[in-house]
Amino acid sequence: MDPAAKDEMEPALTAGSSCPGPEWPEQERAEQLARGAALKWASGIFYRPEQLARLGQYRIRERQRTSFLDSRIKSVVQSYLEGVQTGVGQLARALEAVQGAHEALGQAQRQLQDLAEGAQTLEPLRERVVQHKQLQALSQLLPRLRAVPAAVAHTQTLIDARRLLEAYVSLRELEQLREDTRAPLGGLELPVFEGLRPLTEALGLAVERAAGAAGQLAREDPAQLVAAVRVAEAGHTSPLGQPPWDWRQRFLRALQEGLERVHFGTSLLPGPGDLADWLEALRVALPAQLATAEALVAPCCPPQYKVVRLWAHTLHGGLRRSLQQVLVWPELGAAEAFTLLHWAQHVYLGPEMMGSLELGPEADVSQLEPLLSLENMEQLETTFVKQVQASVAQWLQKALDGEVAEWGLEKQPDTDPSGFYHSSMPAIVLQILDENIRVTSLVGESLQRRMHGMALSELSTFLRSFNDALIRFSRDHLRGEAIAPHYVPYLLATLNHHTALRSSLSVLQLDGVASVTLPRVEAALDELQRRICRLVLEALVAELQPLFASLPSRRWLSSPELLDDVCQKTASFCRDFWRVRSPAGQLLLAEAERTVVLQYLHALMQGRLACRGAAERTQAAERLRQDATQLQELFQGLGLEEGAQCAPVLLALRELLSLQDPTLLGLEVAGLRQQFPDVSEDHVSALLDLRGDVSREQRLAALSSLQAVPPPSPPEGRRILFSLVPAPTPVPSSCLPSGPCA
């Protein structure tokens, strides 16, 4: 912009403005902002010189605009001043009106104070008016009020005479009179009515007594029961504006309490030993009570009372609580526990009681909670099983003690008609266990399973005690502390006991029930059988050892007397084996034959004899053949099957002695290993020593051939022999092997 033009514009922009004094800072800031905006506008309009030609036009337009704005501002200010003037006038008139109202209120307050003072002077008159009205009402009711004491006494007489409906009507009349006098007296109750509350309570007690004896009244005086019900219903809905007596609930509660008191009162609960008689009495009484409720009591009561259902549930609840008291008896025995379990599950729910078809749907017995909870059942079953277990243990111990006492007698064991050794002990044990299992079937499957497990557990304990008794019996006999004249026969008799006890397992088993105790019982039976056989065989070994002390020897080579003595002693020892029932008898006979053969093999391995030439080797081989034949004939005569005998091992050893060429011993030893996988180098070496002609090289060659042939698996049915003959160690202890037996 041209500086000259700019200088010319500034006076024009500021000419019509008057700067306010410092007392108006807001206006000063507004003018400064306006001036800045104007300068900015002018700078934009007159930026180029050719636009200055229109400066005059802009000045004229702005002057006109300024004049227009001034006129509008003046008009607005004038209008505002006129409104203020009008408002001031209205406020003045309002002030005058408020002052007038204030004066009027003051006058009214003074007048009200004067009226209150006058009303206080009328208060005695008002009291006299109220008293007059009360006295007027009392004067009208005075004849009736005078009769109140007599009416109260009459009502009490009616209650005592059990005329409940009449008593209720009289009581209601007295209560109505009390209400009629209470209203005029402003809610004040006269002393003459103080006897109504005890009278009401007396009538309520009479209704409760009638409810408590509802069953008896239904049979003897149903009218009185109906009257009590009507009074209870009338009291349930009070017509006098008073709170209802709620006698319906009192009636029903008294009915329940009466039922429980009659049948389950404290004095009626059974004592120890009386439980069975008490339950039998309830079996007769409770169905009779339900029949009475359905036939006699229910017709006397409204349907909403549901008398039959109430009767059934009340009797059930009382019986349930009574049984809870019985369950805490410290002396609750097995008989009581069994009786209670059977009665609760079968008698109470049976057709004679709650399961009766004659009970209608009104009884609603399906909604009854169980008479005994699961915890109660568990407690009773535990009590029963625990006490029966203690009794069974005592009886089994007595049976075992009686059996053990017979072992030292001078007489032979008893026999049955077939000649087998026999004792009543297995039958007693079976009877004790079986009877206790079978009797629990009358209660339920749960108790029967627990009793079955207990019976097997006690049988297992009994078998261990039996085993221990046998050990003591044998120890005392062998030590000479208690000589048993018939030691072996009684051991043989116990094998028959074992057989009888094993057969009893099938009797004790429950159909479809797998027992975790059964394997322990079977293991105990197996251990018992091994123990008996071991003791018998130890006795046999004790008799044969002196005879085998001279085998082999030169005398043995030349004479069969040694083996004759062995066979004679063995035959004498085994003569009663036939009195043992199979399969135990056959097993024992087979083990006796193996014991004799083991003693024979052990004697051969002791190195007592070495053949001094081919003639003696031939003689020894022949002796082995004859001895094997003699032993086979002996045990065949005793009843042992040929395929179960071990004596043929002597024939295999005979081949080792009869071999003429020692260089072929390796083949013979390999063949022996094939037949008897448990033969060891020590056994072979001892047999080579018996030949007496085997050089060191030949021995090593024979033993190396034994090592070259891996031991084959034992043929099925082959009994172990050589592993029980540790050569040249002392005599091995005879024991019943765990492996199979040929």
pLDDT (0 to 100) of residue 401: 93
How many other CB atoms are found less than 10 A from the CB of residue 114? 9
pLDDT (0 to 100) of residue 1: 46
pLDDT (average), residues 460-479: 91
Residue count (the chain): 742
CB 459, CB 525: distance < 8 Å: no
pLDDT higher than threshold 90 for residue 12: no
Q: What are phi and psi of 238, to 5 degrees?
A: -70, 130
Higher pLDDT, 92 or 17: 92
pLDDT digits (tens, 9 = 90+) for 184-213: 766 666 777 777 888 888 888 888 888 888
CB 580, CB 588: distance < 8 Å: yes
CB 722, CB 601: distance < 8 Å: yes
Higher pLDDT, 726 or 305: 305
Q: Both tokens of residue 677?
A: 């996988």
CB 531, CB 458: distance < 8 Å: no
Contacts of 234 (CB under 8 A, 6+ apart): 168
CA distance 346 to 283: 11
pLDDT higher than threshold 60 for residue 737: no
Q: How confident is the model at residue 633 (pLDDT cuts 50, 70, 90)?
A: very high
Task: Give the residue from 399, 543, 404, 396 showing the smallest Cα distance to 473.
Answer: 404
Mean pLDDT of the chain: 82
Three-state DSSP state, 51? helix
pLDDT (0 to 100) of residue 286: 84
Q: How confident is the model at residue 734 (pLDDT cuts 50, 70, 90)?
A: very low
Higher pLDDT, 53 or 438: 438
CA distance 706 to 651: 19
Q: How confident is the model at residue 465 (pLDDT cuts 50, 70, 90)?
A: very high
pLDDT (average), residues 256-260: 85
pLDDT higher than threshold 70 for residue 24: no
pLDDT (0 to 100) of residue 138: 65
Which secondary structure element, helix H or strand E, spans residue 529, and what is its range?
helix 518-548
* DSSP strands (E only) in 416-480: none
pLDDT (average), residues 508-534: 81
pLDDT (0 to 100) of residue 89: 84
pLDDT (average), residues 226-241: 72
Contacts of 600 (CB under 8 A, 6+ apart): 548, 551, 627, 631, 650
Residue type, 335: A
pLDDT higher than threshold 90 for residue 391: yes
Q: How confident is the model at residue 229 (pLDDT cuts 50, 70, 90)?
A: confident
Higher pLDDT, 243 or 185: 185
pLDDT higher than threshold 80 for residue 527: yes
pLDDT digits (tens, 9 = 90+) for 311-367: 888 888 888 888 888 888 877 888 888 888 888 888 888 887 877 756 666 666 777
Sign of CA dihedral 88, 93, 95, 98: negative
Q: How confident is the model at residue 469 (pLDDT cuts 50, 70, 90)?
A: very high
pLDDT (0 to 100) of residue 727: 67
pLDDT (average), residues 92-113: 85
16-25, 430-439, 639-648, 685-694: which range is least confident on average?
Answer: 16-25
pLDDT digits (tens, 9 = 90+) for 598-627: 999 999 888 888 888 889 889 999 999 999
Higher pLDDT, 48 or 668: 668
pLDDT higher than threshold 70 for residue 22: no
| All domains of the chain in start order, with CATH | 3-86 (no CATH), 129-246 (no CATH), 265-372 (no CATH), 383-531 (1.10.357.50), 549-724 (1.10.357.70)
- Residue ranges of the alpha helices (H) in 331-424? 334-342, 374-407
pLDDT (0 to 100) of residue 624: 92
Q: Both tokens of residue 324?
A: 């809870």
CA distance 663 to 19: 155
Q: What DSSP designation does 738 have?
A: S
237-241, 304-308, 326-330, 439-443: which range is least confident on average?
Answer: 237-241
pLDDT (0 to 100) of residue 19: 45
pLDDT higher than threshold 50 for residue 17: no
CA distance 365 to 313: 8
| Residues of the chain above pLDDT 90, percent | 18
pLDDT higher than threshold 50 for residue 575: yes
pLDDT (0 to 100) of residue 360: 64
pLDDT (0 to 100) of residue 680: 87
CA distance 649 to 682: 17
Identify the residue whose tokens are 């030691």: 487
pTM over 0.75: no
Which secondary structure element, helix H or strand E, spans residue 247, and what is its range?
helix 247-264
pLDDT digits (tens, 9 = 90+) for 132-150: 666 666 666 666 777 678 8
Higher pLDDT, 715 or 593: 593
Q: Both tokens of residue 83?
A: 């409104």
pLDDT (0 to 100) of residue 130: 65
Read out DSSP for 192-219?
GGTTHHHHHHHHHHHHHHHHHTHHHHHH
| Residues of the chain above pLDDT 70, percent | 85
pLDDT digits (tens, 9 = 90+) for 144-179: 777 678 888 888 888 888 888 888 888 888 888 887
CA distance 181 to 176: 9
